[in-house]
Chains A and B, each alone.
Chain A
Amino acid sequence: MKPMVHVIDDDESLRTALLRLLNGSGFEATGYGSTGDFLLRHPPDRHGCVLLDIRLPGGPSGLELSAVLKEQGIDLPVVFMTGHADVASSVAAMKGGAVDYLEKPITPQALLDAIGRALTRDAAARGERLERAALMTAFAVLSQRERQVFDLIVEGKLNKQIAAKLGVAERTVKAQRASVLTKLGVSSVAELGRLAERLRQCRQ
């Protein structure tokens, strides 16, 4: 499936030209006249990016849009285009999560490079999100007792110490430990440590 590029610019002529270029460059490009139009069309959560004119008349501005998208859970990298770059708006754009900031007139190469960077970032983010989702799913399978055992293992406690802490036999802890490793699909305690670290990051 081709990466999807959402082109939002009120200038029809420029939009058409950009769509042509992007479609010809192996993307699936869709044009919108305004940010409102874009939001109303409910873009699918698909690998891609947004190419957005930073100043659009009517409806939310490009900067606002990027905030709204985050709220809606659509996490697409945004490449801003601007007719007139100034420090204030570029800083704001970067804070708003822009991956790139293109000044018009945009040369095709600069555009494609920026799109490429945005897509790479999207792909990375998307992969990370998937992995994290898988991790969360697996972790959700653990029972209450198994989670306690997991936490204590990650803390580096020995089976005997865990057994003492939970007030169960050491043998029972051993069995539960094997079950955790199996459920999370890891083979060693070291791997489990890395997993825990990832999980901690996700929770934050």
Chain B
Amino acid sequence: MRWTCVCLATLVAALLPSGLVQADTPRQVLVLYENNRLLPANVEADRGLNRVIAGLGRPVEVSAEFLDYPRFGGETYVRTISTYLREKYQTHPPAVVVAGGNGALEFLLRNRQALFPGAPLVHMGIDESFLAGLKLPGDVYGVPVRYDPAATVAQALRWHPRATRLVVVTGAAAPDRELDNALRQELAPFKGRLSRIEYWTGLATPELLERVASLGADSLIFTPGYFMDGAGKTFTPREAVTKIAEVAPVPVYGPYNTFIGTGVVGGRVPIFEAMGEMAGRIVNQLLEGRAVATLGLPAVMPTKLSVDWRQIKRWGIKESDVPGDAIVQFKSPGLWDQYRYQALGMLAIVILQSMLVAILLIERRRRRMAELAVDKHRFELAHASRLAVAGELTASIAHEINQPLGAILSNVAAASLILESGAMQPEELRQILEDIRRDDVRASDVIRQLRKLFEKHEVERTVVDLNEAAVEMAIVLRAEAKRRRVDLVVREASGDVSVVGDRIQIQQVLINLVLNAMDAVADQREGHRIVTVTVMMVDDTASVEISDTGHGIGEEDRAKLFDSFFSTKPTGIGLGLSIVRTLVESHGGKVWAENRPGGGAVFHVELPAAKRIRRLEVA
């Protein structure tokens, strides 16, 4: 029992993560900004800083405080705010303090030891020149910023080569005036390039805007904005520059990234967010307890050309003149940028559809080719079958032709005899000639009829009268029936029995079926070999029945009757009925066989009537 308790305790201890205790007490970081919390530069820097610190993977609480310079100031204010900060952070002493802006750095350098003893200081957004004038203790880290108004003006002059006048607008607050001084030095080198460089310092905003509005096309404006105008009214520099750009008839440039969007073209600027990120990296390094030097910090924050695409367009700056590494904002997104996913989706759909269409087209073509091949095959087979029929009919065909030929020979001989005898029988001779002519026509009719049936032909779709087809079939098979001593009876239908199809193929169906029937009755004694072809029309279906007086169809043969190469005849190759079915089905009809009650078989062929097809086509 006791052992169990010990084990449990060990287990619980092992399962408790050791980091849990530390996680309960996050490290504190305090960021003190010089200006107002809503100053865009602060917002951006804060975003960069927080993102990097959040990426540390350890619990860190970042607090932000704002000195609200230059709106507030004076010794009392500084004392008050010092007390406030000390009291506030007594319970949460920051491990690292960050200064955002010149004023904040100054304040912290002065009050840090009293407020946050031992906490290292990280600065961000500190002007290089400002930093140069300070003597920093060893635990102060940071990468200074070089606001590069000269580079901005140089870029502006490259874009506006015809500009001869530069107006530099600054304000009346202390930092404004500092900036004004700095700018006068930095921009001095452009005096040669430009005919005039004017410094409009500390004007009241209304007056300033009026003057800006009346600037000529040869001018450019450069302004860092201002915190206070000549009338003592406070602004954020962004607000100030917004007002200026609003009325300016000429391009406005500024030194800060945060001006983008207010109407300035842009400038070569440090990126506040990058400053925040840089400070964040230093903070993380300090929190981890590692040497800052190992980060290999740059001497100054790099500047970048940042532009407002709308202004680039507005001032007619060529796209090719914008360097590729420029940060371009407000580039009105093209359809592609705006609807990339929709467009990709659409494109995918279109491609899929195209592929589908292509596949369907290919399939259709293949099917069409296959159908054509089948058609051709069927056509060839049908023709071959007709030739086979022709072979079968050779004897009767010969008879059909020999009869008139024999008659002609006899008539000619008779005529010769009459002429030799010297008897004048012109009437007899005329009759003989007439008979010869008739027999000749008869023989050629037989040949024509057969040729029509047996030669290759293009498959047609015409209206075919089944009555006519049956009669013509009977003409072709008459001699054969006679030869086989089969009675071939054709019963025509009384009304219209038109179907749509190929006349030759329909005749072939009838011929094959009648020949089949003749074969079926071959064993019967003479006088009992009867094949009856009956044409009928029932509703919209035209049908032909071919009945015989043979032995009927064996039960086991019926299923295979229409199969290729199935034959019950010793000499049959078994294609006749197979072709019949193929042809009937290609005409949209059906064919089947059954035994007649009185003996013998009957084959039914049903084809859609022409009137039904016409109706369907109209519909």
Contact = CB atoms under 8 A, between A and B. Distances in A.
A106 B406 contact: yes
A55 B482 contact: yes
B398 A84 contact: yes
Interface stretch (B67-75, B198-206, B432-440): B432-440
B144 interface: no
Interface string B89-132: 00000000000000000000000000000000000000000000
B410 interface: yes
B349 interface: no
Contacts of A104: 399, 402-403, 405-406
A89 to B, nearest CB: 11
A55 B485 contact: yes
Interface stretch (A14-22, A36-44, A120-128, A175-183): A14-22
Interface of A: 11, 13-14, 16-18, 20-21, 23-25, 55, 57, 61, 83-84, 104-108, 111
Contact of B432 (A18, A20, A84): A20
Contacts of B435: 13, 16-17
B408 A17 contact: yes
Given A20-B432, A106-B406, A13 B438 contact: yes
Interface residues of B, number: 30
**10 A-B pairs closest in CB distance:** A83-B399, A108-B413, A24-B417, A17-B410, A20-B414, A105-B406, A104-B402, A105-B405, A17-B407, A84-B395
B411 A17 contact: yes
27 contacts: A13-B403, A13-B435, A13-B438, A13-B442, A14-B403, A14-B407, A17-B410, A20-B414, A20-B428, A20-B432, A21-B411, A21-B414, A21-B417, A23-B414, A24-B418, A83-B398, A83-B402, A83-B483, A84-B396, A84-B399, A105-B405, A105-B406, A105-B409, A106-B410, A108-B409, A108-B412, A111-B410
B10 interface: no
B404 interface: yes
A24 B421 contact: yes
B413 A13 contact: no
A106 B411 CA distance: 12
Contacts of A18: 407, 410
Nearest to A12: B407
Nearest to A13: B407
Contacts of A107: 409
Given A24-B418, A55-B485, A83 B410 contact: no
A11 B403 contact: yes
Contacts of B396: 83-84
B402 A108 contact: no
A83 B479 CA distance: 10
B369 to A, nearest CB: 45
Interface in B373-424: 395-396, 398-399, 402-414, 417-418, 421
B409 A83 contact: no
Contact of B417 (A11, A25, A111): A25
A61 B483 CA distance: 11
A178 B432 CA distance: 65
B396 to A, nearest CB: 8
A24 B423 CA distance: 11
Nearest to A110: B409
A108 B482 contact: no
Contacts of B405: 104-105
Contact of B485 (A23, A57, A83, A106): A57
A55 B407 CA distance: 17
Interface in B477-499: 482-483, 485
Contacts of B485: 55, 57, 61
A16 to B, nearest CB: 7
A102 to B, nearest CB: 9
A106 B526 CA distance: 27
Contacts of A55: 482-483, 485
Contacts of B409: 17, 105-108
A57 B482 contact: yes
Contacts of B526: 61
A56 to B, nearest CB: 8
A18 to B, nearest CB: 5
A177 B417 CA distance: 59
A20 to B, nearest CB: 4
A108 B487 CA distance: 32
Contacts of A13: 403-404, 407, 435, 438-439, 442
A11 B413 CA distance: 18
A116 to B, nearest CB: 15
A21 B413 contact: yes
A25 B417 CA distance: 7
A104 B418 CA distance: 23
Contacts of B395: 83-84
Contacts of A111: 410
A107 B411 CA distance: 11
A108 B410 contact: yes
Contacts of B483: 55, 83-84
A17 B404 CA distance: 10
Nearest to B406: A105
Residue of B396, B403, B526 with most partner-chain A CB within 10 A = B403
Contact of B414 (A14, A24, A84, A105): A24
A202 to B, nearest CB: 37
Contacts of B432: 17, 20
Nearest to B405: A105
A172 B411 CA distance: 70
Nearest to B486: A57
Contacts of A61: 485, 526
A175 to B, nearest CB: 62
A34 to B, nearest CB: 12
B522 to A, nearest CB: 14
Contacts of A20: 410-411, 414, 428, 432
Contacts of B407: 11, 13-14, 16-18
Nearest to A104: B402
A24 B412 CA distance: 12
A61 B482 CA distance: 12
Residue of B395, B409, B442, B485 with most partner-chain A CB within 10 A = B409
Contacts of B417: 21, 24-25
Contacts of B428: 20
A58 B290 CA distance: 128
Residue of B395, B402, B410 with most partner-chain A CB within 10 A = B410
Interface string B435-473: 100110010000000000000000000000000000000
B442 A105 contact: no
A55 B438 CA distance: 23
Contacts of B439: 13, 17
A13 B173 CA distance: 138
Contacts of B406: 14, 17, 104-106
